[in-house]
């Protein structure tokens, strides 16, 4: 067997990542070939000929195998370029359009399962959720290895080992259970009031509402997790934290698409620096919080085992590794949903008015809308949030899982060993087989009709498949902060709806919001220029 083909077989079977092995196969082997050519060619010609021939043969072998009927995923449809290399899907991912691109592919190939990489499949079937992500489902895929900056001390989301994930998740669960949430309510209320004050100070002028909500989320996250430290609503992003976070997210897309590259990221300092800067910010904030202690029961009170629930305290390295995740998950995701809700309310005035009426019913003027005693009865508020989460999934392209040494059956589809899989949440939650009528439209009433289908009077069949609705992921690795997110969203939206009126700024092209929305692991919303006025002035 020739050297390039042998190299292909070895890397296909064992996937070595150690630098000495890479140097041997990608430098020394072709270099040895050039030595043979020296008997016939000068050195300056022998070297490029040997290397070009070697890598051309290697790439040809890889390409032919990936497109051949002998590849384990050959029967699954998908564009040839995606079957050849993950670089092509990375190109769509870094642009932020992966979710929309894959949705178009589902329609183009008329298939619920697509091959979107040499060894990756994506599903849009609700029946795939449980076998893929449920209690007896699959472990997280190699994309999470790629996103992990630290190989030993990982944060919760990057653990691909289910045992280690479960072990670390226990502290997060204590920090986000109903008892802990009660302690966070005054913090949410204080920051939500500050957000409304900020908007009212800019009343009458154009305000970037998504930026203001992002600042609110960061300030609350700082209080809830670290016992304070952020004042974005007062100072803005003076430390460049948001810029660092966005840079890290974009590099993370590369690491997720091509996980092996993360092992050698240090060879390209510009990329490594962008990825490490934000992680260093999170780690430094976590370390500072742990070392100084806290007078309140913030999230790190539980992550650091200050509550004494675990027999052994975690090390500083273990706890501080959670810092970047806390910042990202505690601010970026919730602020995106809140911004999208406000965008949709401004876009659909009739929905906005119905929500105002419900808020006024439970919290008339003089009543504190930040008191959550009536939230459980506010069905329309919940419908508005659910419909926003359905249209604008938090993870549009889903969360990656992977088969290991043995293949699995997912519905009617056999998935071979060592294959990455994911659910295309964006497509699944907009599929007319799951939600109808108007699956691409904002219609909160569908959630109320689902409670009593007899109230539906339309001619198009009503479909409401809640098993296809997984806004906070699914199974043992779902979003541990789901309860906190719901509480935060309801408190903020009730207070905003009671206190202010929001409309799009003059000249704003409404379609820009969804057009510019990015799928960078979690959804990244665009600017939202609005005019804010006091609610009482419009009553």
Q: Which residues of 274-298 are buried (b: 16+ CB within 10 A; e: fewer)?
A: bbbbbbbbbbebbeebbeeebeebb
d(CA 411, CA 130): 10
State the chain's maximal CA–CA distance in angstroms. 94
- Between helices 379-391 and 349-362, what is the axis angle to 10°? 140
d(CA 283, CA 321): 6
3-state class (DSSP) for residue 413: strand
Which residue shows structure tokens 């060894």? Answer: 119
Query: CB-based contacts of 496: which residues, under 8 Å, 6+ apart?
Result: 192, 195, 196, 199, 342, 502
Q: How many CB atoms lie within 10 A of CB 29?
A: 17
Residue 206 β-bridge partners: 531
Distances (CA, A) of 456 to 377, 438, 446, 451, 462: 21, 14, 9, 10, 7
Written as six digits, the tokens of 286 are: 């976590």
Identify the helix (H) or strand (E) that includes residue 411: none
Identify the helix (H) or strand (E) that includes residue 452: none
d(CA 271, CA 241): 17
Report the binding-site residues for heme.
Answer: 479
d(CA 199, CA 197): 5
Tell me, rounded to whole angstroms, the distance of Cα 55 from its chain centroid.
Answer: 36
* Contact between 172 and 303 (Cβ < 8 Å): yes
Report the binding-site residues.
Answer: 479
Q: Which of 87, 5, 155 is nearest to 477 (CA)?
A: 155
Length of the chain: 539
Residue 533 β-bridge partners: 501
* Contact between 143 and 262 (Cβ < 8 Å): no
Across 443-526, the runs of DSSP E, i.e. the strands, are 463-464, 500-504, 518-520, 522-524
d(CA 537, CA 539): 6
């Amino acid at each position: 067997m020739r050297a390039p083909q042998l190299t292909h077989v070895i890397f296909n079977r064992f996937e070595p990542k150690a630098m000495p092995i890479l140097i041997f196969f990608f430098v020394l082997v072709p270099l040895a070939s050039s030595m043979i050519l020296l008997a016939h060619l000068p050195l300056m010609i022998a070297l490029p000929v040997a290397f070009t021939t070697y890598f051309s043969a290697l790439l040809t072998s890889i390409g032919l195998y990936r497109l051949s009927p002998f590849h384990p995923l050959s029967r699954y449809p998908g564009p040839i370029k995606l079957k050849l290399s993950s670089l092509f899907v990375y190109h769509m991912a870094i642009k932020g359009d992966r979710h929309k691109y894959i949705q178009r592919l589902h329609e183009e190939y008329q298939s619920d399962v697509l091959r979107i990489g040499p060894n990756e499949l994506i599903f849009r079937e609700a029946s795939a959720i449980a076998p893929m992500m449920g209690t007896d489902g699959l472990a997280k895929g190699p994309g999470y290895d790629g996103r992990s900056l630290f190989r030993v001390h990982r944060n919760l989301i990057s653990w691909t080992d289910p045992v280690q994930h479960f072990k670390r998740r226990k502290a997060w669960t204590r920090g986000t259970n109903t008892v802990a949430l009660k302690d966070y309510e005054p913090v949410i209320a204080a920051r939500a009031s500050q957000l409304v004050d900020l908007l009212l100070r800019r009343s009458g002028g154009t305000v970037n509402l998504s930026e203001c909500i992002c600042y609110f989320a960061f300030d609350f996250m700082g209080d809830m997790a670290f016992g304070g430290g952020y004042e974005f609503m007062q100072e803005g992003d003076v430390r460049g934290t948001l810029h660092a976070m966005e840079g890290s997210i974009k590099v993370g897309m590369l690491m997720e698409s091509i996980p092996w590259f993360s092992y050698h990221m240090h060879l390209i300092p510009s990329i490594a620096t962008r990825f490490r800067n934000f992680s260093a910010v999170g780690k430094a904030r976590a370390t500072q919080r742990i070392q100084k202690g806290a007078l309140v029961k913030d999230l790190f009170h539980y992550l650091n085992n200050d509550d004494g629930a675990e027999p052994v305290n975690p090390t500083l390295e273990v706890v501080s590794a959670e810092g970047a995740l806390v910042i990202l998950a505690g601010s970026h995701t919730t602020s995106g949903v809140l911004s999208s809700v406000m965008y949709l309310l401004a876009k659909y005035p009739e929905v906005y008015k119905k929500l105002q009426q419900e808020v006024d019913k439970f919290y008339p003027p003089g009543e504190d809308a930040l008191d959550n005693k009536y939230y459980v009865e506010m069905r329309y508020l919940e419908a508005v949030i659910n419909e926003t989460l359905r249209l604008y999934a938090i993870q549009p392209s889903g969360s990656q899982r992977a088969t290991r040494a043995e293949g699995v059956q997912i519905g009617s589809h056999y998935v071979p060993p060592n294959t990455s899989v994911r659910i295309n949440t964006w497509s699944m939650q907009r599929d007319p087989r799951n939600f109808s009528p108007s699956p691409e439209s904002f219609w909160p009433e569908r959630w109320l009709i689902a409670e009593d289908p007899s109230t539906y009077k339309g001619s198009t069949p009503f479909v409401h498949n809640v098993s296809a609705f997984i806004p906070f992921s699914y199974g043992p690795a779902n979003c541990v902060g789901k309860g906190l997110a719901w509480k935060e969203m309801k408190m903020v939206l009730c207070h905003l709806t009671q206190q202010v009126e929001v409309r799009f700024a003059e000249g704003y092209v409404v379609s820009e919001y969804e057009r510019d929305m990015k799928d960078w692991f979690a959804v990244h919303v665009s600017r939202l220029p609005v005019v804010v006025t006091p609610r009482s002035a419009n009553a």
